[in-house]
Structure 1
Amino acid sequence: MNKHTTIDKSTGEKKCSCFKRCGGCQLDKVYAQQIEWKQAKADRMLSRFCRPQQIITMDDPYNYRNKVQTVYKVNSSKRIVSGVYQSSTHSMVITDDCFLEDIRAQQIVATLKELMADFRILPYNEESDQGLLKHTIIRTSQTTGEVMLVLVTATPIFPAKKNFVKAITEKHPYITTIVQNVNKGRVPLTLGDRDIIMYGKGYITDEMCGCKFRISPHSFYQVNPEQTEKLYSKAVSCAELKKGDRVIDAYCGTGTIGLIAAKSGADVAGVELNAEAVKDAVSNAKLNKLDNIRFYNEDAGEFMTKLAQAGESCDTVFLDPPRAGTTEEFVEALGKLRPEKIVYVSCKIETLERDLKLLAKIGYKAQLIQPVDMFPHTTGIENVVLLKRKMISLTPNRTPDKKGDKKIERKGKTSHR
């Protein structure tokens, strides 16, 4: 075992000797100092739009990642070792005890290395294009206790498969499903198109904000369940949805925010370009027995533009785009549809700042900014922003009359419904 995590006696907090080599963490500070740094950054970058609220913190900012990806190799002593790729490289950093990862996942990885040696399963070597196991993904649920192990292999042939499955499930009976994913490509840390269920049902279920979510090997799902619950609860509550409100969940992924919104009684349309994510979203709607949400495999901007052209209206739009943020085309589509409220969930503060400027140009003003510490020990800051369409004052040319020269002011409507 390559133990790199220690306890700092002066602070009682965890320290990692891989900090400079790995890149998974970017802040080597005690947690209180991390929060001060993030709050100051949010205030500095976003206060021009609306003063940010106090950042929502974690009670225990360690071992929170419910998705753990691990790579393997044979070292100079002919032993199988495991770790992670250094940020933006193919250079492997050997570690067994990352303090961001779920502890059950670390225990499974330790057993996997022993079984690989016993069953003569070699890690895949990218240079020689030899070996079987490319990497593993372990996904865990804190609410249901279910655990999924994904073995990403170079070929579908898995030696002594039944005995291998029996050995690892006997050692870790909390594993509820094992999936072999076949990836014949050369790009690291990616999944192939073919899944072979080796054990269990091929997916796990998690619960959040009163909804159930099915998580497959390919599903996008937030990696910090404790903070995700706080993030999504804030996003939906600040929208103040009423039964029958018309809602669009743009960039909906597997439908998490949209399903939580639908549970409040709103009529929701989830829009997502990734077809696999839409399949998961449809399954999640059925799992939660919600018939007031529909999913569309389309570009969200084009979807909203079509609605506007057809004379349709919308009360609230949720958007949770990738780190690159949204696009000018999407903002233009928002301007055509003119929802009363926009709830922007952002995972990168730099692109959020840029997009809030674009949204201001089409008449939306930030009413609330709530930072959330989704990724302790990193520089990432998640934010929920509530924006409302501004009341527009129109002052036409004035015509004097016998009663005097009076200003005539007409305020724009706040809703198209």
Structure 2
Amino acid sequence: MTKQLELPVQKNEEVEFDITGLTHEGDGVGKVEGFTLFVPQALPGERIKAKVLKVKKNYGYAKLVEMVEASPDRLEPPCPVYHQCGGCSLQHVSYEEQLRQKTIIVQDNLKRLGNIEHATVHPTLGMKDPWRYRNKAQVPIGEEEGGLIGGFYAQRSHRIINMESCLIQHEKNDEVIELVKRAASQLGISAYNEQTRKGLLRHVVVKVGFKTGEVMVVLVINGDKLPNQEELVNQLTKKVDGLKSLAVNVNKKQTNVIFGDQTQIIWGEPYIYDYIGNIKFAISPRSFYQVNPVQTEILYGKALEYANLTGNETVIDAYCGIGTISLFLAQKAKHVYGVEIVPEAIADAKRNARLNVMENVDFAVGEAERIIPWWYAQGIKADVVVVDPPRKGCDETLLDTLIQMKPKRIVYVSCNPSTLARDLQILEAGGYVTKEVQPVDMFPHTFHVESVAWLSLKE
């Protein structure tokens, strides 16, 4: 109790202070007598009154109560459920300021966590039209007053916010989800209940090919059979333009993971197709494909630029997924080796290589930190290595192997500025220097930012 009394703020107290920055999750940051408070929806440059909700030893959390002085970059969010939905966090910020803050977040992480100040961090590359950019919707389904509802979860909860339209989703996603909700309600298909573990329809997943217009719908169910399946298929095939594939995925587990292991195509084709640049990709119900194809082309284009290929290089692509970056690189490389832990992704990668008649690529299933050292032991030495790891960053064994292998260049594609900074520091200690970092806004109106970093081996 004594320690709490020594702090400059107490729980439930209202305080007035200035917001000086944003966290990587989009919350405002300010200080009261040197004590840090995090405030959702507050912006840098604003003076606010806030109620303290939680106090820890060195920091606390507060709720915005009154705007004393607003930022000129503050906007009224266009989405009617913005303040309840947990899908977006920055719709109340002008897009120009979103891009500026994302650049600052990358710079701050590199400096604070990686001790990297010498690298050029370019301004974040944004979109001309930062709306309706998502080609995939994964919407949980619930039940309310006898009808089905669908939408994203409320912030920090599993309470579904019903919505008819999402401004960052492709319009076709909205259309299909509404059709499924109505048709399933009419046909007596129940929604899954997380508490009771009863009910059938868990999620509706919609995928749209931006360049082809092809549509895939996946219904994730808590059971072995979809009742009135024929009639549901009939309704969707009549009403959805561009529909090419309808699938059912069975997930009977008590889990937050969306997909189960069993998928069945109940109508149409097993794939839809789309393009990134000139490369064609087959997209299956469970394959990973970047959700913003417009910015993906920019992101991969920058990775290709940093790889600086002349046609004579051997390239390794770690965490290659369905081969998107690998095939981009194969256009300019002598040979590309891709590795990915998910067997289905590698099957898709091989299929995509055949689809584009690219014979200078090989793909392997396994952990990058095991396969690449094995390749190295077999005499496969890369001139360029591209890594695109998950949010946790690269495994230390993989980084050690890269340092031993000494490729001339490493191109690091990151979705997490903090693990990027950590891994760059390790690579720099191993003989590399970070030359440039290019942030790319793959997810406008959210706090996420992707980056491409170029590292060169020191002479």
* TMscore range, shorter length: 0.7 to 0.9
Contact 1:43 1:51 in 2 (8 A): no
The equivalent of 2:138 in structure 1 is: 69
The counterpart of 2:100, out of the listed 13, 25, 36, is 36
TM-score by length of 2: 0.80
Partner SS state of residue 161, structure 2 = strand
Deviation at 1:12, TM superposition (A): 9.0
Superposition pairs of residues 370-381 of structure 1, within 5 angstroms: 370-381=438-449
Deviation at 1:127, TM superposition (A): 2.2
Taking structure 1 as reference, are residues 148 and 130 closer, same or farther at Cα in structure 2, changes over 3 Å only? same
The counterpart of 2:433, out of the listed 365, 368, 381, is 365
The equivalent of 2:197 in structure 1 is: 129
Distance (Å, rounded) in 2 between the aligned partners of 1:301 and 1:384:
20
Q: What percentage of residue pairs aligned between the two structures are identical?
A: 37
Aligned residues: 381
- The code of the aligned residue for 1:295 comes to F
The equivalent of 2:286 in structure 1 is: 218
Distance (Å, rounded) in 1 between the aligned partners of 2:277 and 2:303:
11
The counterpart of 1:58, out of the listed 109, 119, 127, is 127
The equivalent of 1:18 in structure 2 is: 81
Q: Considering only aligned residues, what root-mean-square deviation do their CA atoms show, in Å?
A: 1.8
Deviation at 1:160, TM superposition (A): 2.4
Deviation at 1:312, TM superposition (A): 3.7
The counterpart of 1:230, out of the listed 260, 284, 298, is 298
Taking structure 1 as reference, are residues 353 and 72 closer, same or farther at Cα in structure 2, changes over 3 Å only? same
Distance (Å, rounded) in 2 between the aligned partners of 1:171 and 1:212:
27
- The code of the aligned residue for 2:107 comes to D
TM-score by length of 1: 0.87
Distance (Å, rounded) in 1 between the aligned partners of 2:399 and 2:151:
41
- Per-residue displacement from partner, 1:115-169 (whole Å, max 9, x unpaired)? 1122111111222222221111001111111110000111221222222111112
- Worse-matched range after superposition: 246-255 or 27-36: 27-36
The equivalent of 1:261 in structure 2 is: 329
Distance (Å, rounded) in 1 between the aligned partners of 2:378 and 2:177:
54
The counterpart of 2:209, out of the listed 141, 146, 154, is 141
Gaps of 5+ in 2: 1-72, 111-115
The counterpart of 2:307, out of the listed 225, 239, 245, is 239
Distance (Å, rounded) in 2 between the aligned partners of 1:179 and 1:153:
11
Partner SS state of residue 92, structure 1 = coil
Gaps of 5+ in 1: 1-9, 392-417
Deviation at 1:346, TM superposition (A): 0.4
- The code of the aligned residue for 1:52 comes to V
Deviation at 1:383, TM superposition (A): 0.6
Partner SS state of residue 93, structure 1 = coil
Distance (Å, rounded) in 2 between the aligned partners of 1:88 and 1:322:
22
The counterpart of 1:349, out of the listed 417, 435, 439, is 417
Deviation at 1:89, TM superposition (A): 3.1
Taking structure 1 as reference, are residues 82 and 308 closer, same or farther at Cα in structure 2, changes over 3 Å only? closer
Taking structure 1 as reference, are residues 203 and 13 closer, same or farther at Cα in structure 2, changes over 3 Å only? farther
The equivalent of 1:326 in structure 2 is: 394
